[in-house]
Amino acid sequence: MEGKEHEARINYDSGSRNLSLEFTGYYTDILANNTRFWQNLSYIVDLRKHLPELVTISFSAATGNDVALHSIYSWSFSSSLEINDTKTDPGISKGPNSDSNVEENTNVGSRSSGNKTGLLIGLAVGGCVCFVGLGLFVFVVWKKRMRKMNESGDETYDVSIGDEFERGTGPKKFSYNDLARATNKFSQQEKLGDGGFGGRSVLSWGLRFKIAQGLASALLYLHEEWEQCVVHRDIKSSNIMLDSNFNAKLGDFGLARLVDHEKGSQTTVLAGTMGYMAPECAITGKASKETDVFSFGVVALEICCGKRPIDPKAPKGEVNLVDRVWSLYGMGKLLEAVDPQLKRDFNVREIERLMIVGLWCAHPDSDLRPPIRQAILVLNFEASLPDLPLRMPVPTYCTPPLSKSSGISSSMNSETIESSEFTAYSSSASIPYSQ
Question: Which uninterrupted H or E stretch holds 396?
Answer: strand 396-397
Is 411 within the bounds of a domain?
yes
pLDDT of residue 432: 42
Question: Which uninterrupted H or E stretch holds 301?
Answer: helix 289-305
Predicted confidence (pLDDT) per residue in 10-45, tens digit: 898 888 899 898 988 887 776 666 788 888 889 999
The predicted model gives 386-399 an average pLDDT of 79
Report d(CA 370, CA 71) in Å as an integer: 85
* Mean per-residue pLDDT over the chain, rounded: 77
pLDDT of residue 208: 94
We report the CATH number of the domain holding residue 405 as 1.10.510.10
398 vs 128 pLDDT, higher one? 128
Asked whether residue 89 carries a pLDDT value surpassing 50, the answer given is no
pLDDT of residue 284: 77
Coil vs helix vs strand at 326 = helix
Question: Which uninterrupted H or E stretch holds 183?
Answer: none
Counting residues of the chain whose pLDDT is more than 70, the rounded percentage is 70
pLDDT of residue 395: 67
21 φ/ψ angles, rounded to the nearest 5 degrees: -135, 130
Is 253 within the bounds of a domain?
yes
What is the chain's length? 435
Least confident residue range of 368-377, 387-396, 426-435: 426-435
| Predicted confidence band of residue 409 (pLDDT cuts 50, 70, 90) | very low
234 catalytically annotated = yes
Coil vs helix vs strand at 22 = strand
Report d(CA 20, CA 115) in Å as an integer: 27
- DSSP annotation string for 131-163: HHHHHHHHHHHHHHHHHHHHHHHHHHHHHHHHH
Least confident residue range of 51-60, 125-134, 231-240: 51-60
Residue 338: give the domain boundaries: 205-422
Report d(CA 386, CA 352) in Å as an integer: 12
The candidate with the shortest Cα–Cα distance to 57, out of 40, 85, 78, 42, is: 78
Report d(CA 86, CA 88) in Å as an integer: 7
The predicted model gives 166-171 an average pLDDT of 62
135 vs 298 pLDDT, higher one? 298
Least confident residue range of 10-24, 56-70, 152-166: 152-166
Is 35 within the bounds of a domain?
no
pLDDT of residue 413: 33
Q: Let me know the angle formed at the C-alpha of 388 by 382 and 393, rounded to the nearest 5 degrees.
A: 145
Is 81 within the bounds of a domain?
no
pLDDT of residue 301: 95
Cβ atoms of residues 392 and 323 within 8 Å: yes
The candidate with the shortest Cα–Cα distance to 304, out of 435, 211, 429, is: 211
Cβ atoms of residues 271 and 335 within 8 Å: no
Annotated catalytic residue within 89, 99, 154, 234: 234
| Predicted confidence band of residue 379 (pLDDT cuts 50, 70, 90) | very high
The predicted model gives 181-195 an average pLDDT of 80
The candidate with the shortest Cα–Cα distance to 129, out of 60, 42, 38, 180, is: 60
Is 42 within the bounds of a domain?
no
Asked whether residue 299 carries a pLDDT value surpassing 80, the answer given is yes
AA identity, residue 206? G
pLDDT of residue 88: 44
| Predicted confidence band of residue 368 (pLDDT cuts 50, 70, 90) | very high
Is 287 within the bounds of a domain?
yes
Report d(CA 212, CA 296) in Å as an integer: 9
pLDDT of residue 300: 95
AA identity, residue 40? N
Predicted confidence (pLDDT) per residue in 341-361, tens digit: 998 889 999 999 999 999 999
Number of independent structural domains in the chain: 1
Is 361 within the bounds of a domain?
yes
pLDDT of residue 261: 64
Is 413 within the bounds of a domain?
yes
